[in-house]
């Protein structure tokens, strides 16, 4: 399946300041596949090796003699390693902390070699492991497939072509087909194995069973890799995310986890999920001004999952409710739609995401974005009804800002507001 990250990887390969690459992302988003596919298309050969259950790799990284390590990888893989022609791919690198540390020395001593690494729960290892090679690596984040990548997988070339053209009249004419595919994406989400199964079989029970298996794998990861004292807390937070997002006020409330729960008890659990790439923590800002980080209130936040398909499976939403009719866009206080918009935004380059409420929480703006030199208030509407007192009030108090509304309505430009169809979220930010 084609992935848009290929362009970023190609820019890394051809960069005059290239450093060893860390490809980060949640488990099963396709890190191994994309690097192997990239090597097949852009290199003469691939020297692939996995650190998982591999004692020879522990021996290989016993010290930081980079040329000895390269010779060892060549011997173990049977591949001739040539600078610029070979991609050295070290997978499951989190299993050997010294291998992560060695990237610093590859950068300093053998930067002519093209080295990429990836691994399950690598984000956890990088936050908890030994001597992260700060400034000595390039980092690219791989997210679940977005809606455009889903259309590519579904061979919807005409829809994709129209979407990229930004011809709003033509997009409007294909509205019904776009919505049907968006509904399917809400169900499948963007986990590559799930999308592949759906494309090949259209078997709804099998797709949901696969999603449940992935959720079980995540539960196993938590039990195996998280600190023992944090395991119950991590599981509790993870399973609570759909219920939090189904409320009118989607702010994460510790008391909803357990009576008397406090931030100090669950902060580490939340951070574990964020580091693992399974959850996105979107913090509140007190003011919509540049730069947003100056006005961040890190103790107040909304918590999202990384994938809307797994969101549906974890919440046990019946597939027919997602795939048939319009209820999925309207029910659960728009939880599916806000989850969808958030993950589309996360996969968009140079977009920094927060949200806003006033002091008494009577006015909420779903997202406040910093995109290049602009601050963009964003409202998410799960239906075509566009009445919103909050956004109108917010814009009146912040003259000069231009807002975005992602909804089921057609594209429309107004004085200080642009309405963008939901299925155009990611394409809207591409010039």
Residue 164's pLDDT is what? 93
Judged by DSSP in three states, 299 sits in strand
The structure tokens listed for 280 are: 């996105």
Alpha-carbon distance values, 401 to 92, 172, 357, 358, 414 (Å): 45, 26, 16, 17, 12
Whether residue 291 has a cis bond before it, omega within 30° of 0: yes
What would the two tokens of residue 409 be?
């309505």
Output the CA angle 427-193-2, nearest 5 degrees: 40
Q: Which is it for strands 279-285 and 138-141: parallel, antiparallel or unpaired?
A: unpaired
Q: Which two tokens stand for residue 118?
A: 């990836």
Distance CA 395, CA 403 (A): 8
Q: Are the C-beta atoms of residues 131 and 138 closer than 8 Å to each other?
A: no
Helix axes 6-14, 31-42, angle to 10 degrees: 50
Between CA 322 and CA 205, with CA 158 as vertex, the angle to 5 degrees is 30
Domain(s) labelled CATH 3.40.50.300 in the chain stretch across: 6-141
Pick the closest to residue 421 from 177, 213, 228 (CA basis): 177
DSSP code, position 295: G
- pLDDT number for residue 404: 94
Q: What is the pLDDT of residue 390?
A: 85
Neighbours of 26 (CB within 10 A): 28
- Residue by residue, pLDDT tens for the chain (431 residues) are 889 999 999 999 999 999 999 999 999 999 999 999 999 999 999 999 999 888 899 999 999 999 999 999 999 999 999 999 999 999 999 889 899 999 999 999 999 999 999 988 887 766 665 567 778 999 999 999 999 999 999 999 999 999 999 999 999 999 999 999 999 999 999 999 999 999 999 999 999 999 999 999 999 999 998 999 999 999 999 999 999 998 888 899 999 999 889 999 999 999 999 999 999 999 999 999 999 999 999 999 999 999 999 999 999 999 998 888 666 666 656 889 999 999 999 998 889 999 999 877 778 999 999 998 899 999 998 766 666 788 889 999 999 999 999 998 899 998 899 999 999 998 888 75
pTM score over 0.85: yes
CATH code of domain 6-141: 3.40.50.300
Question: Is there a contact between 39 and 110 (Cβ–Cβ < 8 Å)?
Answer: no
Token pair of 342 as six digits:
């958030």
Q: In what order do the strands lie in the sheet with 296-305?
A: 296-305, 279-285, 351-357, 364-371, 374-380, 403-407, 417-421, 412-413
């Amino acid at each position: 399946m084609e992935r848009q990250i290929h362009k970023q990887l190609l820019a890394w390969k051809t960069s005059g300041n290239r450093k060893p690459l860390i490809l980060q992302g949640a488990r099963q988003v396709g890190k191994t596949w994309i690097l192997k596919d990239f090597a097949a298309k852009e290199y003469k050969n691939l020297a692939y090796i996995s650190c998982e259950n591999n004692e020879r790799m522990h021996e290989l990284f016993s010290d930081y003699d980079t040329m000895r390590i390269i010779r060892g990888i060549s011997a173990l893989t049977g591949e001739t390693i040539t600078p610029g022609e070979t991609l050295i791919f070290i997978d499951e690198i989190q299993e050997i902390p010294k291998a992560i540390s060695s990237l610093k020395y590859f950068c300093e001593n053998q930067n002519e070699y093209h080295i990429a690494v990836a691994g399950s729960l690598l984000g956890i290892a990088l936050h908890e492991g030994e001597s992260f090679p700060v400034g000595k690596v390039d980092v690219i984040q791989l997210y679940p497939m977005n809606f455009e990548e889903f259309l590519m997988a579904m061979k919807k070339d005409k829809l994709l072509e129209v979407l990229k053209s930004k011809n709003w009249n033509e997009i409007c004419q294909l509205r019904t087909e776009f919505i049907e595919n968006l509904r399917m994406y809400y169900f499948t989400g963007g986990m590559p194995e799930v999308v592949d199964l759906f494309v090949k079989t259209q078997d709804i029970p099998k797709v949901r069973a696969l999603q449940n298996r992935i959720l079980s794998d995540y539960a196993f990861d938590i039990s195996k890799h998280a600190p023992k004292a944090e395991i119950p807390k991590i599981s509790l937070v993870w399973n609570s995310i759909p219920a939090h997002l189904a409320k009118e006020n989607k702010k994460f409330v510790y008391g909803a986890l357990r009576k008397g729960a406090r931030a100090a008890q669950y902060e580490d659990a939340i951070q574990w999920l964020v580091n693992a790439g399974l959850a996105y923590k979107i913090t509140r800002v007190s003011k919509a001004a540049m730069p947003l980080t100056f006005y961040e209130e890190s103790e107040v936040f909304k918590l999202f999952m990384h994938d809307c398909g797994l969101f549906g499976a974890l919440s046990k939403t019946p597939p027919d409710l997602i795939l048939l009719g319009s209820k999925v866009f309207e029910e659960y206080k728009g939880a599916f739609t806000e989850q969808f918009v958030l993950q589309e935004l996360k996969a968009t380059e140079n977009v920094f995401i927060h949200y806003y409420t006033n002091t008494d929480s009577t006015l909420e703006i779903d997202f406040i974005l910093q995109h290049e030199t602009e601050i963009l208030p964003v409202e998410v509407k799960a239906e075509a009804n566009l009445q919103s007192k909050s956004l109108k009030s917010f814009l009146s108090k912040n003259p000069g800002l231009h807002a975005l509304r992602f909804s089921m309505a057609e594209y429309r430009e107004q004085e200080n507001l642009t309405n963008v169809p939901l299925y155009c979220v990611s394409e809207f930010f591409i010039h």
